């Protein structure tokens, strides 16, 4: 997926409207998807980004020192009236605000369409299949995604969750069911010339909802400069072998499984670092004490991104036992840094990690998963040559599949097949991790 435009004849630039509610430079997750997708595509097309007004300061600061390609980026800022901001209180409030934002964004885009003859409209963020993008109603070819959200924690694992975690999973199932029966969601699906899904689980849901053409494309990515920087930075010392988990401390992230596996199988000389914060921190700290491994477990709390990457580089193996994760950016970061990844064979991480770059553990039952995670941790703790080989394979995979510059070239190819009406026949360029279904 390496850019290869040198020496080729110049292609016609299109005018593209991106819907990116979350869009912020130097961030990961959804804000990073919005910003990096727009930046990568500006190498090929004139890009108008419709985003929230609260992203404006960070975007404009970045643009002042941006390379020439970003001159083809244009930002249009829209927000709901100030009185509506109280809807954003709490996680559920954000989702309601986002839904309402989609309605207002449609009218903003409609006005913009009167001024600019767009060739394509592309919804980027939020990347959730059970919330509509009303820009699909515009009289322009519409590309949706990558979107996720169909990934679920297997039911046998719910018993290990806190009451809050079980309620969250139940409400998520209800919300997803309601979304799938939302007329506006079904309109978004049916009017998409092409729908990109983050995982096969979401692709299956989109097909059932009537999507005309669905392809699987992981949304995780890193700038080429960052991939090269991570690959060149020094490796951790040989001892002690350190495992690390990074993310919000929520039931669904499965860190309790990682702790149980560490206590069960890892060697006495190893350590386990956990970077992140959240409602399950105290429960996890208590679990480490109960398991008798608290002296070898370090909770670092929430850290800035650069410091988080530094902790990753000071470790030897990433343990990412997430029970439903559409993206799993930290897996791509670990591979770029030359760190093997142990993950569950679920969702986005299962797409990213191969047997050459890490270990994928089946998630049939908590006891089985803990046993297999422990076995993988022991295996990698005892075998530095295997860690080295997997780390080098991860670097190669990160460079080939997860650089934003390459993703921009790939999406440009998709754009051209969508706009020329041959998107149904398109059958190339998605790479081994993004296969057509």
Q: What is the CATH number of the domain that holds 22?
A: 3.40.50.2000
CA distance 368 to 365: 5
Question: Is the residue at 204 inside a domain?
Answer: yes
Residue 369: alpha-carbon gap to chain centroid = 23
Q: What residue numbers bound the domain in which 167 lies?
A: 15-221+403-434
295 burial level (CB within 10 Å; 0-12, 13-18, 19+): exposed
Do 188 and 241 lie in one domain? The reply is no
Do 102 and 200 lie in one domain? The reply is yes
CA distance 154 to 366: 10
Question: Is the residue at 317 inside a domain?
Answer: yes
Do 189 and 70 lie in one domain? The reply is yes
Do 74 and 99 lie in one domain? The reply is yes
Question: Is the residue at 9 inside a domain?
Answer: no
Do 395 and 422 lie in one domain? The reply is no
Do 374 and 411 lie in one domain? The reply is no
Question: Is the residue at 10 inside a domain?
Answer: no
Question: Is the residue at 8 inside a domain?
Answer: no
DSSP one-letter code for 212: S
Do 189 and 233 lie in one domain? The reply is no
Do 252 and 150 lie in one domain? The reply is no
pLDDT in tens, the chain (437 residues): 544 444 444 578 899 999 999 999 888 788 889 999 999 999 899 999 999 998 999 898 888 876 555 778 999 999 887 766 666 655 556 778 888 899 999 999 999 999 999 999 999 999 999 999 999 999 999 999 899 999 999 999 999 999 999 999 999 999 999 999 999 999 999 999 999 999 999 999 999 999 989 999 988 888 888 898 888 886 666 678 999 999 999 999 999 999 999 999 767 889 999 999 999 999 999 999 999 999 999 999 999 988 999 999 999 999 999 998 887 789 999 999 999 999 999 988 999 999 999 999 999 999 999 999 999 999 999 999 999 999 999 999 999 889 888 888 899 999 988 888 644 433 333 333 333 33
Do 70 and 211 lie in one domain? The reply is yes
Do 271 and 176 lie in one domain? The reply is no
Question: Is the residue at 370 inside a domain?
Answer: yes
Question: Is the residue at 374 inside a domain?
Answer: yes
Residue 112's H or E segment, with its range, is helix 90-115
Do 75 and 177 lie in one domain? The reply is yes
CA distance 144 to 137: 12
pTM of the model: 0.86
Question: Is the residue at 5 inside a domain?
Answer: no
Q: Give how many domains the chain has, as a whole number.
A: 2
CA distance 115 to 191: 23
Do 77 and 208 lie in one domain? The reply is yes
């Amino acid at each position: 997926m390496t850019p290869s435009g040198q020496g080729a004849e110049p292609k016609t630039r299109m005018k593209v409207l991106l819907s990116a509610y979350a869009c912020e430079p130097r961030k990961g997750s959804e804000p990073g998807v919005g910003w990096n997708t727009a930046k990568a595509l500006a190498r090929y097309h004139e890009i108008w980004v419709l985003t929230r007004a609260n992203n404006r300061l960070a975007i404009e600061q970045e643009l002042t020192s941006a390379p020439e390609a970003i001159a083809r980026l244009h930002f249009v800022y829209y927000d709901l009236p100030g009185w509506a901001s109280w809807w954003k209180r709490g996680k559920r409030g954000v989702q309601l605000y986002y839904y309402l934002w989609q309605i207002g964004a449609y009218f903003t885009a409609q006005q913009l369409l009167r001024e600019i003859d767009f060739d394509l409209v592309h919804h980027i963020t939020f990347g959730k299949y059970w919330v509509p993008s009303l820009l699909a109603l515009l009289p322009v070819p519409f590309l949706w995604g990558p979107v996720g959200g169909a990934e679920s924690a297997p039911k046998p694992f719910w018993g290990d969750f806190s009451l809050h975690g079980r309620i969250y999973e139940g409400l998520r199932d209800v919300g997803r069911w309601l979304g799938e029966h939302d007329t506006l969601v079904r309109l978004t699906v049916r009017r998409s010339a092409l729908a990109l899904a983050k995982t096969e689980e979401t692709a299956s849901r989109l097909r059932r909802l009537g999507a005309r053409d669905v392809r699987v494309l992981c949304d995780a990515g890193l700038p080429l400069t960052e991939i090269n920087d991570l690959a060149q930075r020094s490796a951790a010392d040989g001892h002690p072998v350190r495992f690390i988990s990074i993310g919000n401390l929520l039931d669904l992230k499965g860190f309790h499984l990682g702790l149980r596996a560490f206590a069960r199988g890892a060697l006495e000389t190893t350590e386990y670092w956990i970077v992140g914060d959240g409602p399950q921190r105290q429960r996890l700290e208590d679990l480490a004490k109960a398991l008798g491994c608290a002296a070898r477990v370090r909770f670092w709390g929430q850290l800035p991104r650069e410091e988080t990457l530094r902790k990753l580089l000071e470790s030897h193996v990433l343990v990412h036992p997430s029970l439903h994760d559409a993206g799993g950016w930290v897996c791509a970061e670990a591979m770029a840094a030359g760190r093997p990844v142990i993950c569950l064979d679920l969702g986005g991480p299962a797409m990213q990690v191969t047997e050459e770059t890490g270990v994928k553990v089946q998630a049939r039952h908590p006891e089985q998963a803990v046993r297999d995670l422990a076995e993988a941790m022991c295996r990698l703790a005892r075998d530095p040559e295997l860690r080295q080989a997997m780390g080098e394979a991860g670097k190669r995979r990160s460079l080939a599949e997860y650089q934003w510059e390459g993703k921009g070239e790939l999406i440009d190819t998709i754009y051209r097949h969508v706009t020329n009406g041959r998107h149904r026949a398109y059958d190339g360029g998605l790479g081994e991790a993004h296969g057509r279904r």
